[in-house]
Copies of this chain bind each other. A is one copy, B any other.
Amino acid sequence: MRTVADHLAAVLDAARPVPALDAVLADAAGCVLAEDVVAGHDVPLFAVAACDGYAVRTADVGLPGPGPAPEVVLPVVEDVQVVAPEPLRLVPGAAALVAAGAPVPAGADAVVPLDRTDRGRARVVLRGGAEPGDHVRPAGADVPVGSTVLTAGTRLGARHLSVAAAVGRSRLRVHPRPRVVVLTVGDELVEPGRAAGPGRRPDANGHALVAAARDAGASAVRVGPVPDERGGLREVIADQLVRADLVLITGGLSPGQWDTVTDVLAPLGTVRFDHVAMTPGDRQGFGTVQVADEATDLVHPGGLGAGGVGVPIFALPGHPVSAMVSYEVFVRPALRAMGGHTGVYRPSVRAAVARPLLSPAGLRHFVPARLTGSPADGYLVDPVGDPSKVSLSQLAAANALMVVGEDTTRVRAGDSLACLVLES
């Protein structure tokens, strides 16, 4: 029996960040940056007006003072469009109409906003004076040339794409989203919505695990349900390996005569099956496989997986609750690590337990539970239903997994336990 900690360590050891590549901005969103981004030029390139108004020399309009607002009249010599065909120069004793964002003509050192003018087009009345720099955003005000605007490791959200675009980048070097293939195995599985005859049941894991992988920042495709037949399963896995950074299989794990997945995976690589000291989800398959090139029968360089360690492959138990808990505990951290994320674990909080419960000795017990409260007031956690009989209904109604340690067999009301906060 392997501990949860040992199994997780083995998983994370094999889950290397997917090698970085250049992605267009649209594809880079949500990925982790794999380079520092340094501004190659000032943003803005030239001094620009911070608002609509008249660009002036402060010497011509006077300084703002405590007395009545001085009023000057200047001829309007220019009408500066945002896109100026060439740099303009303001002659002394004149004003130029400028739009917000338009370059301030050389010679001008301030902008008087429209609402302190009579908005004149040939000549303009300007009130209140101006100090040098008023309503002017100098070159580099947003981003000075040479500054590092984004650092490697940043998960690219909207504001990061905004600054990358502003410094003129159309592509960024990122860890791409890991490509996950979700494969459900079992003669008994039918497509949800199809009639489930005797001994048949809908595939509850396929869509759920695809959604879970996407929520972790991966891209995912669903394959199956695939029958419990060795030849066919071997072929499907070989086909999928060429496009996968990680393969996620559920079902087909029985140690009796039905252990299709065990038989198929054994010769492919280092996949091993362990009883892990946890409940639900005690039987876990994990390892890495190399992708062979069909033509040469050699290992394909593109199929070595991230860091040349092979493609991680998980064989999770088939029961949907076991599968989902196993995903949360082992697969999700692996996917986050492969995406280059620094935080690989879900947020976890400590909460006071609402009801006493018994927990099996020697096993880490993950209990579907409702977490309520707030950081300020503290959290309360209440198992959904009977914690000794884990069911899909409980998982669906839960918003957290309460974690009862291996050495704890009796939890009292009010005890404080760690809880994994599931997405809502």
Which residues of A approach B to under 8 Å, CB–CB? 25-26, 29-30, 43-46, 52, 79, 81-87, 97, 99-103, 114, 141-144, 147, 149-150, 155-171, 186-188, 191-194, 196, 198-212, 214-215, 222, 228, 254-258, 318-321, 324, 327, 349, 375-376, 389, 391-393, 395-398, 422-424
Contact among B147, B157, B169, B375 with A424 in the assembled complex (CB-CB below 8 Å): B157
| B83 lies within 8 A of A45 (CB) | no
**With A82-B199, A86-B198 already in contact, 13 other A-B pairs whose C-beta atoms are closer than 8 Å:** A29-B207, A46-B199, A83-B187, A85-B198, A101-B186, A142-B321, A143-B392, A157-B422, A162-B204, A163-B392, A163-B393, A165-B208, A168-B202
Which residues of the partner chain B approach A193 to less than 8 Å between Cβ atoms?
168-171
A45 and B320 CA atoms in complex are apart in Å by 15
Could you tell me the distance in whole angstroms from the C-beta of A329 to the nearest C-beta in chain B? 14
Contact among B157, B194, B199 with A83 in the assembled complex (CB-CB below 8 Å): B199
| A165 lies within 8 A of B202 (CB) | yes
| B202 lies within 8 A of A158 (CB) | no
Top 7 A-B pairs ranked by shortest CB distance? A170-B193, A375-B375, A158-B212, A162-B208, A163-B396, A165-B192, A29-B211
Which residues of the partner chain B approach A43 to less than 8 Å between Cβ atoms?
201, 392
Closest to A397 in B: B149
A81 and B97 CA atoms in complex are apart in Å by 84
A87 and B199 CA atoms in complex are apart in Å by 9
Q: Is the interface of A mostly helix, strand, loop or mixed?
A: loop
Which residues of the partner chain B approach A171 to less than 8 Å between Cβ atoms?
193
| A392 lies within 8 A of B186 (CB) | no
Contact among B103, B214, B422, B424 with A198 in the assembled complex (CB-CB below 8 Å): B103
| A211 lies within 8 A of B30 (CB) | yes
A387 and B207 CA atoms in complex are apart in Å by 46
Which residues of the partner chain B approach A79 to less than 8 Å between Cβ atoms?
257
**In the complex this chain forms, how many copies of it are found?**
2
Which residues of the partner chain B approach A392 to less than 8 Å between Cβ atoms?
43, 142-143, 149, 162-163, 166
Which residues of the partner chain B approach A162 to less than 8 Å between Cβ atoms?
204-205, 207-208, 320, 324, 392, 395-396
A191 and B141 CA atoms in complex are apart in Å by 21
| B26 lies within 8 A of A210 (CB) | yes
A397 and B160 CA atoms in complex are apart in Å by 8
A391 and B87 CA atoms in complex are apart in Å by 24
Which residues of the partner chain B approach A101 to less than 8 Å between Cβ atoms?
186, 188, 318-319
Which residues of the partner chain B approach A167 to less than 8 Å between Cβ atoms?
202
Could you tell me the distance in whole angstroms from the C-beta of A116 to the nearest C-beta in chain B? 14
| B29 lies within 8 A of A201 (CB) | no
A158 and B192 CA atoms in complex are apart in Å by 15
Closest to A190 in B: B168
6 A–B pairs (Cβ distance < 8 Å), ordered by A: A81-B199, A85-B198, A100-B254, A162-B395, A163-B396, A166-B392
| A202 lies within 8 A of B258 (CB) | no
| B393 lies within 8 A of A147 (CB) | yes
Which residues of the partner chain B approach A161 to less than 8 Å between Cβ atoms?
207-208, 211
| B396 lies within 8 A of A150 (CB) | yes
